[in-house]
Amino acid sequence: MSIDAELLDILACPNCKVPVVLVHDSTGLKCNTCHRVYPIKDDIPVMLIDEATIEKDEAPIEENAD
């Protein structure tokens, strides 16, 4: 089972107050501002700052302008 689209629309990072996006094959919700990933346990998002992990973004891929 996955998170209901209506629920996903209203969920926000408790730290930054910005929307979160589904990541990791629907096992977490990520805030793209503070890079916290909130786990989803038993189809329930755990939106607690203490339960989140901080995930570093990959370095941007630079395109060669040649």
Q: Does residue 29 form part of some domain?
A: yes
pTM: 0.80
Type of residue numbered 1: M
Does residue 22 sit in helix, strand or coil? strand
CA 3, CA 10: separation in Å to the nearest integer?
12
CA 60, CA 52: separation in Å to the nearest integer?
24
Q: Does residue 33 form part of some domain?
A: yes
| CA-atom Rg of the chain in angstroms | 14
CATH value at residue 10: 2.20.25.10
Range of the domain at 45: 5-54
CA 24, CA 6: separation in Å to the nearest integer?
20
Number of domains composing the chain:
1
pLDDT tens, the chain, 66 aa long: 578 889 999 999 999 999 999 997 889 999 999 999 999 999 899 999 999 999 986 544 455 555
